[in-house]
């Protein structure tokens, strides 16, 4: 690990100024991903600014019936929160699908969103990787592709975003609140992460020194009927090959609304807008779910090593939506 | 850059000067001579370094010591023992059920199990919980899922689950 300076300022403005003022400075939350990447020398910050006491670790109600989740809320605490479990079960399930008990106990909401890809080449300094070192090449294009994206990838990067939590938040239309050198802003979660394009080194739209302070969950009554399903190579403690977060509103056998997002398939949580549109007003049957999944997957551009993800994503979507329909009968 | 921090480890206060790069695991083992927590992968993948920090289990290899100034740490060596045999009930159960071979992962397994049982008692669900909102019933499937952050190279898993299940009941 390279040497670095450590600062723990007493307020957010001070923390933001410290990071904004040094090009190689980064915020430190729990560090479960950052410290790992520093050991590998994938990340070599010169200054760590500890913010884990500078944002809220509470979940509060909002006037419109939504919830505000502080950026420092630990993953375990968010998953275990009774209101989240009852009103947004897919969010609890998504978090509980990720990492291990030890990691969830410390990992924060803000840090979870900003974790880096687990693409093997990103973490292997001996191989080219455009995300780690711009313009060095992408080793996955003719290498190991099992974890690679099927949606929205570019010639330069086929990495996937590893978060489970972010997939459920994308389906729930969550909004990320930030504070930075230019002030505060609210970013829809579906717009927080970027597609790789020609700048795969940039995971998100956040600017240098911009700090996530909270995530707002809008009220969504039918999210009480939601589920997160993760498919992976091991039964536990592994990243998703494919995951599906879905909430379904079925009345008299007809889908009124659906919210669907996929994980493990893109550089960002992949909101399945095409499938959602397809389902609106459709009979809540397996045939409709299959047609909607296939409509979404028409946009998939798999590589030779991950073509299986198309069928896997389709089948997982159909299964999750079918189970949610049974839950409403 | 060196920073002086204080840590309370298994009931003893320490003040120690650490380089900012020092993990909690290295501070324990290399600076304080507390070798109960083990270094396996050093990347948060194996769980051998698990300790309780302020009552919660975590991977000490991914925690920077400098960010844990003032923390209360409990290792497997510092677990509360029953007077009869000087062992924590989980330690006794691991011995009785032959829940290890080489023993390298064992302190991490035991501390992790202590933290896991507390989480379950507090009602924290797992991804295999039948009812996300219901009472936690620690059957074997639940124990396996909740302990998945602790690997055992000797694959003593069957007996580890049995030992933990005995204490959970």
Model confidence pLDDT, tens digit, residues A144-159: 999 999 999 999 999 9
- Are B50 and B97 members of one domain? no
- Are B106 and B127 members of one domain? yes
* φ/ψ of residue B51, rounded to 5: -135, 165
User: What digits encode the pLDDT tens for the residues B13-30?
Assistant: 999 999 999 999 999 999
Asked if the structure places residue B149 within a domain, the reply is: yes
Nearest to A28 among B43, B67, B126 (CB): B67
B124 touches chain A (CB under 8 A): yes
How far is the alpha carbon of A244 from chain B, nearest alpha carbon, in Å?
A: 14
Asked if the structure places residue B97 within a domain, the reply is: yes
Contact A101/B132, CB-based, under 8 Å?
no
Asked if the structure places residue B53 within a domain, the reply is: yes
At residue A200, the pLDDT reads 98
B44 touches chain A (CB under 8 A): yes
Contact A101/B66, CB-based, under 8 Å?
no
Please give the average per-residue pLDDT across A222-230, as a whole number: 98
- Closest among B152, B148, B83, B74 to B114, alpha carbons compared: B74
On chain A, the residues whose CB falls within 8 A of the CB of B115 are 101-102, 105
Asked if the structure places residue B41 within a domain, the reply is: yes
Is the distance from CB of A52 to CB of B67 less than 8 angstroms?
yes
Contact A5/B1, CB-based, under 8 Å?
yes
Beta strand segments in chain A, E: 5-7, 25-28, 47-50, 59-61, 67-70, 175-180, 183-188, 211-217, 226-231, 242-251, 254-263, 270-271
The CATH number assigned to the domain holding B27 equals: 3.10.20.30
Contact A79/B125, CB-based, under 8 Å?
yes
Contact A6/B63, CB-based, under 8 Å?
no
Query: b/e per residue, A103-140, with b = 16+ CB within 10 A?
Result: bbbbbbbbbbbbbbbebbbbbeeebbbbbbeeeeebbb
- Are B72 and B138 members of one domain? no
On chain A, the residues whose CB falls within 8 A of the CB of B48 are none
Contact A103/B19, CB-based, under 8 Å?
no
- Are B44 and B19 members of one domain? yes
At residue B110, the pLDDT reads 98
Is the distance from CB of B57 to CB of B111 less than 8 angstroms?
yes
- Closest among A225, A170, A179 to A206, alpha carbons compared: A179
Last residue within a domain, chosen from B55, B78, B101: B78
Instruction: Give the distance from CA A7 to its chain's centroid.
Output: 28
Other CB atoms within 10 Å distance of the CB of residue B83:
5
Contact A102/B119, CB-based, under 8 Å?
no
Asked if the structure places residue B150 within a domain, the reply is: yes
Q: How many domains would you assign to chain B? A: 2
Collapse the DSSP code of A9 into the 3-class scheme (helix H, G, I; strand E, B; otherwise coil) and give the result: coil
* φ/ψ of residue A140, rounded to 5: -75, -20
**CB burial class (10 A; 0-12, 13-18, 19+) of residue A282?**
middle
The complex's ipTM? 0.98
- Are B8 and B61 members of one domain? yes
> Does pLDDT of A329 surpass 60?
no
The CATH number assigned to the domain holding B125 equals: 1.10.150.120
pTM: 0.98
Contact A32/B132, CB-based, under 8 Å?
no
Residue B110, domain extent: 89-168
Reported confidence tier of residue B61, pLDDT bands at 50, 70, 90: very high
Nearest to A103 among B59, B119, B147 (CB): B59
DSSP letter assigned to residue A46:
S
Which 54-113 residues of chain B touch chain A by CB within 8 A? 56-59, 62-64, 66-67, 112
Edge-to-edge strand ranges of the sheet holding A242-251 = A226-231, A242-251, A254-263, A270-271
- Are B117 and B142 members of one domain? yes
Asked if the structure places residue B39 within a domain, the reply is: yes
- Are B96 and B143 members of one domain? yes
Asked if the structure places residue B84 within a domain, the reply is: no
Residue owning tokens 């690679």? A148
User: What digits encode the pLDDT tens for the residues B114-169?
Assistant: 999 999 999 999 999 989 988 999 999 999 999 999 999 999 999 999 999 999 98
- Are B111 and B73 members of one domain? no
Asked if the structure places residue B42 within a domain, the reply is: yes
> Does pLDDT of A37 surpass 60?
yes
> Does pLDDT of A110 surpass 60?
yes
How far is the alpha carbon of A2 from chain B, nearest alpha carbon, in Å?
A: 8
Q: Mutate one of A2, A30, A72, A100 to test the B interface: name it (highest B CB count within 10 A).
A: A100
Last residue within a domain, chosen from B44, B78, B112: B78
- Are B139 and B95 members of one domain? yes
Reported confidence tier of residue A327, pLDDT bands at 50, 70, 90: low
- Are B109 and B161 members of one domain? yes
- Are B138 and B67 members of one domain? no
């Amino acid at each position: 690990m390279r040497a670095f300076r450590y600062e723990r300022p007493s307020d957010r403005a001070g923390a933001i100024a410290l990071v904004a003022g040094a090009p190689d400075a980064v915020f430190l939350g729990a560090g479960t991903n950052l410290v790992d990447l520093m050991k590998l020398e994938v990340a070599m910050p010169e200054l760590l600014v500890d913010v884990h006491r500078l944002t809220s670790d509470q979940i509060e109600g909002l006037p419109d019936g939504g919830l505000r989740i502080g950026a420092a809320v630990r993953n375990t605490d968010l998953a275990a929160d009774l209101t989240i479990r009852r009103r947004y079960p897919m969010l609890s399930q998504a978090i509980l699908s990720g990492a291990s008990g030890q990691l969830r106990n410390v990992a924060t909401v803000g840090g979870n969103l900003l974790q880096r890809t687990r693409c093997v080449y990103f973490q292997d300094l001996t191989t080219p990787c455009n995300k780690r070192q711009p313009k060095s090449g992408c080793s996955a294009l003719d290498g190991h592709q099992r974890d690679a994206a099927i949606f929205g990838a570019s010639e330069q990067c086929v990495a996937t975003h590893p978060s489970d939590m972010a997939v459920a938040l994308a389906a729930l239309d969550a909004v990320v609140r930030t504070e930075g050198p230019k002030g505060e802003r609210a970013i829809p979660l579906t717009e927080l992460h970027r597609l790789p394009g020609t700048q795969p080194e940039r995971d998100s739209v956040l600017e240098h020194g911009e700090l996530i302070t909270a995530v707002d969950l809008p009220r969504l009554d039918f999210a009480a009927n939601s589920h997160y399903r993760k498919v992976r190579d091991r039964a536990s403690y592994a990243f998703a090959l494919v995951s599906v977060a879905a909430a379904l509103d079925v009345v008299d056998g007809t889908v009124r609304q659906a919210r669907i997002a996929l994980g493990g398939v893109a550089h960002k949580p992949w909101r399945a807008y095409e499938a959602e549109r397809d389902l609106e007003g459709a009979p809540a049957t397996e045939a409709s779910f299959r047609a909607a999944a296939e409509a979404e997957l028409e946009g998939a551009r798999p590589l030779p090593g991950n073509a299986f993800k198309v069928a896997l994503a389709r089948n997982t979507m159909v299964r999750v939506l079918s189970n949610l329909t049974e839950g409403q009968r | 850059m060196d920073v002086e921090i204080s840590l309370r480890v298994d009931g003893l206060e320490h003040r120690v000067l650490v380089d900012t790069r020092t993990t909690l695991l290295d501070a324990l083992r290399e600076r304080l001579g507390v070798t109960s927590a083990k270094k396996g992968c050093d990347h948060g993948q194996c769980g051998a370094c698990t300790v309780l920090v302020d009552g919660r289990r975590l991977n000490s290899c991914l925690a920077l010591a400098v960010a844990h100034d003032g923390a209360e740490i409990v290792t497997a060596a510092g677990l509360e023992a029953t007077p009869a045999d000087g062992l924590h009930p989980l330690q006794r159960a691991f011995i009785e059920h032959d829940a290890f071979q080489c023993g390298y992962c064992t302190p991490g397994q035991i501390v992790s199990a202590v933290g896991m049982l507390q989480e379950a008692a507090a009602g924290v669900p797992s991804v295999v919980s039948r009812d996300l909102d219901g009472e936690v019933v620690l059957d074997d499937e639940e124990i396996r899922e909740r302990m998945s952050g602790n690997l055992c190279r000797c694959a003593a898993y069957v007996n580890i689950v049995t030992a933990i299940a005995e204490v959970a009941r």
